[in-house]
Amino acid sequence: MTVTTRFAPSPTGTLHVGNLRTALHNWLFARRHGGTFLLRIDDTDKERSQESFVEAIRADLAWMGLQPDAEERQSARFDHYEARFAELAAAGRVYPAYETAQELDLKRKIRLGRGLPPVYDRAALALSDEDRARLEGEGRTPHWRFRLDHDAPIIWDDLVRGPQRFDPATMSDPVIRRADGSWLYLLPSVIDDIDMAVTHVVRGEDHVSNTASQLQMFQALGSTPPAFAHEALLTGSEGKLSKRLGSLGIAHFRELGIEPQAIASLLGRLGTSDPVEPFADLSPLIAGFDFARFGRAPARFDEAELAQLNARIVHQLPFAAVAGRVPEGVDAAAWSAIRPNLETVGQAADWWRVVQGPVDAPAPSDDDRAFLTRAAEHAESLDWSTDPWRALTGALKEETGRKGKALFLPLRLALTGREHGPDMGALLPLIGKERAVERLQA
């Protein structure tokens, strides 16, 4: 079996963290099994779908490195839906219903009032040809429902949730088509999954009850359904499914200087029994991806964790991965000197300013001033070709007897204007003799 997965966003907005996670898992699973990863644009809703969102979705996936192997669009497939719908109508598996939204609402309330589950009563199934003619004569246009088969329970073995069982008699026949002829998502998705030979449907657990209906649609269309993996939802760090989480997307992360690998490292492991680790290269994440590792409890997405992971990824990035994103003049040596001190690649610019100066150093004590004057003299005369920091501190240690903090800190402060920072052994050669002497004299 060749694995085929699909990520199926509706282009009614930009992708948020939850969508990105679903996209990532579809991609990881396809890559893990040498399969195909499809991007399917669910744009049957003409009113709410926007081309700009389609472009944004593509751009976000590209930035994340989740390149789809092919792209499909539901709006280009209406003929297929029409043909399969006609088959279902001929087989009596879809039926027209005429209730208005208000009528349905009233029915729901009455059932609830009687302590019954608010399931559609199938009144439309009992209509005769004359009834329908009369209703249409009154100017009503039907919407369409899929007739669930009540004979047997709906069961499947979910890759994340384990064995699932639904009693179709407790479910409403789902509306699949609106009165204006437009499609709801359920049936087109099944037709696409059949036509595109999707083997694994990976999506959020908010779709579990849709799956129960859709499994019968696969059967009604004469197809073996794919496997399903329904993932526990993400919650915000406050523990709830927050509004904030629904609005966090790539634009926000890019602004914060988050690398795509940090997002993938976190979202690839969150909610699994494997530890979250910083993967600058995603191969190990792909190799270890397995739905059996996923838990059923909601996974907590924490932006602070993402920021920490990002720093650990930045510390691994080779110069080639950041060239073009760092200030001109930063070369491989400068990058490896600065890198351990960064939380984001963007911060390289701050350290590069420190290298280039001018630096704003605090005024030293009298004692330190004399010490720094000696340091300037040594810096002037020492050999800069190999490890000047070692030579400078060695000479000063011997001459003044200073060691530890008393030796290093005044030098660091004078040379960088800061108490902490990159290893001076790596930084000093970048600052260079001229600027170093000047700063020590100042």
Q: Residues annotated in the binding site for ATP, as ranges?
A: 243
Could you tell me the smallest distance in angstroms from the CB atom of residue 103 to ligand GLU? 27
Helix residue ranges per DSSP H, 33-66: 51-64
Strand extents, DSSP E, 29-174? 36-41, 70-73, 94-97, 143-146, 154-158, 162-166
Using the minimum distance from each CB to ligand GLU, give the nearer residue, 53 or 371. 53
Using the minimum distance from each CB to ligand GLU, give the nearer residue, 183 or 335. 183
Using the minimum distance from each CB to ligand GLU, give the nearer residue, 31 or 40. 40
Q: Which residue is nearest to ligand GLU (CB)?
A: 42
CA distance 189 to 74: 8
Site for ligand GLU, rule CB under 6 A:
8-10, 42, 185, 189, 203, 207
Residue 227 pairs with which residues in a beta bridge?
Answer: 200
Using the minimum distance from each CB to ligand GLU, give the nearer residue, 10 or 242. 10
Could you tell me the smallest distance in angstroms from the CB atom of residue 198 to ligand GLU? 9
Using the minimum distance from each CB to ligand GLU, give the nearer residue, 42 or 368. 42
CB 330 within 8 A of CB 356: no
Tokens 């001033």 -> residue: 369
Using the minimum distance from each CB to ligand GLU, give the nearer residue, 57 or 88. 57
CA distance 173 to 147: 5
Could you tell me the smallest distance in angstroms from the CB atom of residue 207 to ligand GLU? 6
Tokens 């949730």 -> residue: 161
- Please give the structure tokens belonging to residue 344: 């984001």
CA distance 14 to 251: 9
> Is 201 in a helix, a strand, or coil?
strand
Could you tell me the smallest distance in angstroms from the CB atom of residue 281 to ligand GLU? 28
Convert 262-327 into a string of H (helix), E (strand) and C (coil). HHHHHHHHCCECCCCCCCCCCHHHHHCCCHHHECCCCEECCHHHHHHHHHHHHCCCCHHHHCCCCC
Could you tell me the smallest distance in angstroms from the CB atom of residue 251 to ligand GLU? 19
Could you tell me the smallest distance in angstroms from the CB atom of residue 146 to ligand GLU? 16
Using the minimum distance from each CB to ligand GLU, give the nearer residue, 39 or 391. 39
Could you tell me the smallest distance in angstroms from the CB atom of residue 10 to ligand GLU? 4
Annotated binding site: 243
Q: How many residues does the chain have?
A: 442
Residue 387 phi/psi, 5-degree rounding, is 35, 65
Q: How far is CA 387 from CA 338, 428, 429, in A?
A: 17, 9, 8
